[in-house]
Amino acid sequence: MGQPQVSVVIAVWNGERYLRQTLDSILAQDFTDYELLVINDGSTDGTADVLAEYSRDPRLRIHSQENQGLVKTRNTGLRMAQGELLAFIDADDLANPSRLSRQVAYLQAHPQVAVLGSFIQYIDPEGHPLRILRYPTGVALVAETLERRCVLAQPAIMLRRSAALAVGGYRPAFKLGAEDYDLWLRMAEHHEIDNLPEVLTYYRIHGASITHTHRTDQTIAAFAAMCSARRRRRGQPDPIDGLNTPVTEGDLARFQLEPDERALFLQTRLELLRQRLAPAADFADLLTQSWELRPYLRRGSHVRHILMPGAFILIKQGRTLTGLGWITCAFLREPLSAAWMLLRQSAKILGVGR
């Protein structure tokens, strides 16, 4: 087989359960000029046996290694891929039969675009369709929205390999999440990015999926990626450069966060305090900070996601008067949202709707 136009890369660790379905969905593509590179990242289940069943297919290349984690494994895929266009898919997801052909055609027609995603459809563990996630489309809207949040799905991506390698690939600081968002932000500084307005990947949701196992870590990492990109756009040093361990909440101190960034992070901090079973004083301090930062927060969001949840936690922890005081502040801030949250909490306590 000569040098293919496209390399499809699957990084797999203990993916025996769904791997056959993923491989079949790639091998059934209506586009034929591709290789399928599967990197077995130290699996201890039957993954190797599944790959052995497909090993005679000339399109398939298998690379086995000791477990190195997702970021290093994806970088290995970037280095080993033979095609200039590289498509990723996770070992539990499915590809639409025309995925490769649709993405190749677009990238050939738009040489300035270096990363191309698509809509995705969630599927349950048995493959039954769930909701469709429609990402922004059009390079201008994608670029604008990317500055605030990730608007591409990693398992639906096709990218130009040389462009990804030129910015250093995936960074180890994002080992626990948002490694894709960080890469897209760095590539967007040199190239355009877009999404196709159609479902080309079926994204499986189950208990072991990354989406479910590292949610808070991903939120912190995505916030760090966004703040790093803001500083690069200003010509400032990237605080993540040189960080080889996963970014944590403590690492955010090196960013010297602006007030709007501190405000944006408050909801994540509230969730972290919940997970740590923090004392009431910590929640009260967070609510005080949110009140000071209220010019940078939307009224309804401030009430629904910070003031009222924090007040309910204080009441539950025995700080009733303090909690009621913050509920009063919430009503002053945005009465409709506060009333709605109070009704929801009352219904929860009374068991209404169960």
CA distance 78 to 90: 15
For residue 244 the two structure tokens come to: 């080889």
Give CA separation, 331 vs 113, 295, 334, in Å.
47, 16, 5
Average pLDDT over the chain, rounded to whole? 95
Cβ partners under 8 Å of residue 235, min gap 6: none
What pLDDT does residue 44 have?
A: 97
Q: Which amino acid type is present at position 274?
A: R
What pLDDT does residue 206 have?
A: 82
* Strand pairing report for 85-88 and 60-65: unpaired
The tens digit of pLDDT for each residue in 1-14 reads 579 999 999 999 99
CA distance 57 to 36: 10
What pLDDT does residue 121 have?
A: 98
Tally the C-alpha atoms within 13 A of residue 27's C-alpha that lie toward its C-beta.
16
Q: Which amino acid type is present at position 240?
A: I
Query: Which tops the pLDDT comparison, 210 or 137?
Result: 137
Q: Percentage of the chain with pLDDT > 70?
A: 97
What is the arithmetic mean of pLDDT over 56-74? 97
The tens digit of pLDDT for each residue in 164-204 reads 999 999 999 999 999 999 999 999 999 999 999 999 999 99
Query: Which tops the pLDDT comparison, 75 or 208?
Result: 75
What pLDDT does residue 294 have?
A: 97
In the predicted model, is pLDDT for residue 269 greater than 70?
A: yes
Q: Percentage of the chain with pLDDT > 90?
A: 91
What is the arithmetic mean of pLDDT over 115-132? 97
For 127-155, give the DSSP string.
--EEEEE----SHHHHHHHHTTS--S-GG
- Distance in angstroms between the alpha carbons of the first and the last residue of the chain: 60
CA distance 25 to 22: 5
The tens digit of pLDDT for each residue in 306-348 reads 999 999 999 999 999 999 999 999 999 999 999 999 999 998 8
* Confidence at 98, pLDDT banded by 50, 70, 90: very high
Helix, strand or coil, per DSSP, at residue 166: helix
CA distance 147 to 157: 18
What pLDDT does residue 194 have?
A: 98
CB 65 within 8 A of CB 40: yes
The tens digit of pLDDT for each residue in 211-238 reads 544 678 899 999 999 999 999 999 999 9
